[in-house]
Structure 1
Amino acid sequence: MLLRILDLSGIAVFAASGALVGVSKRLDIFGVCVVGVITGIGGGMIRDLLLGITPPTSLQNWPYFATAFTACLVVLVLHPEVRRIRTGVLVLDAIGVGVFATGGAGIALASGAGPLAATIIGMITAIGGGLLRDVLVNEMPLLLQRDLYAVPALLGATTVVLADALAIPESVGLAVGSVTAAGLRLLALWRRWNLPTAPRLS
């Protein structure tokens, strides 16, 4: 039940971030909803395909699709003014990274995946929707920029896997992992932390 709630929460915030990007790109209502829904359920679909869950949960169960679509409609009606959209996208994206990384790792463990596989699948769940969103709107994916994006997701997923290995209650691992991943992502944005780049060629 907790994993389901976490999954739906991640879908909602990621769909909202995708819809905000659609609004900023001046897409029509259909375009905004397409970008938002794919952002919301994309990571979960990739996770399910990696775990051999077919059809993917988000396509099999209507609440997942409905949650993403509702989040898009809310954004269309209540989106902030254009100058604040970038901030809104980044904040929602950070929350989505934390929630999806831990939820993805938890679902992978529940499906019988080993610790390493669960960690990687958790990270992919968190970054998959944002990657698809950026490709759809022809933006350089955040994953490939210097921003700390995949690292917080990896840390959140690792927290859940370690909690499971240490027999710590699932709810504690999920909560700590989500807060850690989202917090690191937001802190990195605020402090402008990033990974080093390769030296320039002469």
Structure 2
Amino acid sequence: MELLLYIVDHLGVAVFAVAGTLLAFRKNLDGFGVIVLAAVTAIGGGTLRDLMLDLPVFWVHDPIYLYTIAAAAVLTILWLRLRDYIHQTTLLVADAVGVAFFTVMGAQKAMMAGFSPLICVIMGTMSACFGGMLRDVLVRDIPMVLKGELYATTCLVGGSVYVVMVEFTPALALLVGGLTTLLMRLGAIRWQWTLTVFHEHGGPR
């Protein structure tokens, strides 16, 4: 089980590194910019989570994660050399997959450390969202989590599904929690599911 969780964690890091690399390509950044965006996206949320939980920062404790980021970035760059343009939807889908991975893995790490279910859900959401926020801020985009389209809400729901199920079937909880997050996020991308957006009184709606 521990090996499976370790592999899933690396998959999440790799997918987020791919998402960061894709955005760097869209923004025409140089090689250094690619590595920065890939790394920030992949480890930003997990770093904040570990610091808040007073745990060893995962990539400092195990530098193999950095090799995973580098490999994912290089493979994505090689793939992009065959394409002249990357569609925004591709970036959104890659980000959605990363969000699903990190939601359940962040919640699982907090659960293993003995924190309450509420804190586990919050840490899963933070793990999934914070790296993407840093990435978007660095390229001067409005972070996806701050837009009306469902984003952090999908993490809260998926993380809640995980903490409810984990007492009965840990492996299935990871799968169902991750799929719940992913399907909700993909649905939000496809059908523009949103929460209520607040407007200035009397302003445009």
Range into which the TM-score falls when normalised by the shorter chain: over 0.9
Structure 1 contact 100–126 (Cα < 8 Å) conserved: yes
Aligned to 1:70: 71
Give yes or no for contact 1:97–1:127 (8 Å, CA) kept in 2. yes
Q: For 1:40, give the aligned amino acid.
A: A
Give yes or no for contact 1:24–1:82 (8 Å, CA) kept in 2.
no
**Residue 16, structure 1, aligned to residue 2, structure 2:** no
- Does the 8 Å CA contact 2:22/2:86 hold for their aligned counterparts? no
Q: Distance in 2 between matches of 1:82 and 1:52?
A: 44
Q: What SS class does the counterpart of residue 147 from structure 1 fall into?
A: coil
How far has the Cα of 1:46 moved from its partner?
1.0
Letter in 2 for 1:62: P
Per-residue deviation, 1:82: 5.0
1:199 Cα offset (Å):
4.0
How many Å apart are 1:85 and its aligned residue? Answer: 3.5
Q: Distance in 1 between matches of 2:70 and 2:60?
A: 13
Q: How many residues align?
A: 199
Aligned with 1:9: secondary structure?
helix
5 Å-filtered alignment, 1:177-192, equals 177-192=177-192
Q: Which residue of 1 aligns with 2:87?
A: 85
1:49-198 to structure 2, matched below 5 A, reads: 49-54=51-56, 56-79=57-80, 81-164=83-166, 167-198=167-198
Identity %: 36
Of 29, 36, 43, the residue aligned with 1:27 is 29
1:15-63 CA-to-partner distances (Å, cap 9, x unmatched) read 1000110111101111111111111111111111111013x11122121
| Matching residue's letter, 1:138 | R
Q: Which amino acid is the alignment partner of residue 75 of structure 1? A: T
CA RMSD of aligned residues (A): 1.3
One of 26, 41, 44 as aligned partner of 1:42: 44
| Runs (5+) with no aligned partner, structure 2 | none
- Distance (Å, rounded) in 1 between the aligned partners of 2:145 and 2:180: 18
Deviations 1:83-132 (A, max 9, x none): 43312110110111111000100110001111111110011001011111
Distance 1:135 1:172 in 2: 35
Contact 2:103 2:128 in 1 (8 A): yes
Higher mean alpha-carbon deviation, 73-82 vs 150-159, is at 73-82
Give the AA of the match of 1:184: M
Structure 1: 5+ residue stretches without partners: none
C-alpha distance in 2 between matches for 1:43 and 1:7 = 13
TM-score normalised per structure 2 = 0.93
